[in-house]
Structure 1
Amino acid sequence: MKRLTGVIFDMDGVIVDSEPIHYLCDTKTLEDYGVEVDFDEMQRYIGVGNEAMWSDLIKRHQIKATVEELTKRQDYYKKELFGKDSIVAVRGIESLIKKLHKKDIKIALASSSPKYFIESILKSLDLINYFGALVSGDEVTRSKPEPDIYLKAAELIGISPVECMAIEDAAAGVIAAKAAGMYTIGYKNPNSGNQDLSPADLIVESIWEVENRLKAILID
């Protein structure tokens, strides 16, 4: 990384500890179509967009439904299960975002979740105004692990990818950010399962570690 002028965050598992609820939404959706899965199978889809996830699951389990039908059912469960009380920010993330903003580091979000869901989560956490751009998986042709979503986020905040740092909790996201040319931090969130974060430039077990690494930039 030549210099840090932008930070691009993943959302689920990085900003909000939402992966367990996503897992419940996905498994309840599949159960409605007579399919039972376990966490070992579903963790491979953490960080992957709906189109790619549902398309693969339809083939694997011969599900008699379209991607659109499964997504609509999934959205039903998201609206039912993601209440105000279930939205919990990852420890340290609010402090990091606010300090980056104070230092005029441009901030964006690159999430495979749909736009309405991203906006809802960030508004609930009172963080949405810190972001210069929000890019959802619905807005790019190729989802993670392809780099498209990260490249678009960098473009929208006017920062070269090589001057951006990405923070990810999922293998697919780490691969995407690295492919975009970004310095990539892999955050080992226990709720994100056994993710291979080894391609990341740095692996941390807490968001506080990220802030400590950036002390020279974030110092008050």
Structure 2
Amino acid sequence: MTKFADIKGFVFDLDGVITDTSILHGTAWHQLADSLGVTWTKELGDGLKGISRMDSLEMILKAGHKENDYTQAQKEELAAQKNTNYVAEVDKMTPANILPGMKAFLDDLRAKGYQLSLASASKNAPRVLGKLGLTDYFPKIVDPASLKHGKPDPEIYTKGAELLNLDPAQCIGLEDAAAGVQAINGAGETSLGIGDATELGAADMVFADTSAVTLANIAKHLD
């Protein structure tokens, strides 16, 4: 088992760990559904979480019985419209959108000399970090365009450790989703899950929410 003293780096997921962009994705899809005359429901919104852009669009069109109304090119335009909506929502973000306790945790990591990288599948991650005022904390960001496989494949977390020039065993990965925890474990890093202990049961340690994530609490779990 990894000891706390062995840890040199932290590899962060973005959504649900540092900030909650899923709300913004929901708003952007809701706006698109409204413009298409598709009735928005909570069930529809929940069903889109963690699903790719094109698959989400298909789900919305199916919900409105419009899946055969658009060509592939038109669907791509609709997906691009959703992304425009989303970026407009991102641009309203401020440091107040950082999840509770995370800024203090990042400050503590930086003060104690830990290395940080970001392992987010979102192409908009650098923009989000900029709005949150956290760009300087993450000089190393895995480029999603360079990945062949998405989570739960470990590739993104393996790259997150490589960017820091660290062995995966020296890194802790932070995630709020089961697929992400699986990716961290597959990469050979220590997994820290944030959220429901049942859902994230495969993680090496689970914290109920971001405010519980501190170096002291992590050390307690590892030693």
TM-score normalized with structure 2 length: 0.77
Q: Deviations over 1:105-141 (max 9, x none)?
A: 1101111211xx2112112222111124112433311
Matched, 1:58 2:61: no
Of residues 104-113 and 29-38 in structure 1, the stretch that sits farther from structure 2 once superposed is 29-38
For residue 120 of structure 1, what is the aligned residue in structure 2? 127
CA distance in 1, matches of 2:120, 2:198: 17
For residue 105 of structure 2, what is the aligned residue in structure 1? 96
For residue 205 of structure 1, what is the aligned residue in structure 2? 208
TM-score normalized with structure 1 length: 0.78
In structure 2, relative to structure 1, the CA distance for the partners of 1:144 and 1:196 (3 Å cut) is same
Q: Given residue 154 of structure 1, which amino acid in structure 2 is its aligned partner?
A: A
Of residues 128-137 and 178-187 in structure 1, the stretch that sits farther from structure 2 once superposed is 128-137
Q: Deviations over 1:4-26 (max 9, x none)?
A: 11101111111112221112223
CA distance in 1, matches of 2:29, 2:90: 13
CA distance in 1, matches of 2:179, 2:80: 23
Match of 1:20 among 20, 23, 26: 23
Correspondences of 1:74-85 after superposition (within 5 Å): 74-85=82-93
For residue 108 of structure 1, what is the aligned residue in structure 2? 117
For residue 184 of structure 1, what is the aligned residue in structure 2? 191
CA shift, 1:195, in A, is 8.8
In structure 2, relative to structure 1, the CA distance for the partners of 1:36 and 1:196 (3 Å cut) is farther
Matched, 1:162 2:165: no
CA shift, 1:39, in A, is 4.4
Which secondary structure state, in structure 2, belongs to the residue aligned with residue 122 of structure 1?
helix
Q: Given residue 132 of structure 2, which amino acid in structure 1 is its aligned partner?
A: L
Matched, 1:9 2:12: yes
Larger Rg: 2
Gapped regions of structure 2 (runs ≥ 5): none
In structure 2, relative to structure 1, the CA distance for the partners of 1:35 and 1:110 (3 Å cut) is farther
CA distance in 2, matches of 1:38, 1:139: 35
CA distance in 1, matches of 2:32, 2:94: 19
Q: Alignment length, in residue pairs?
A: 207
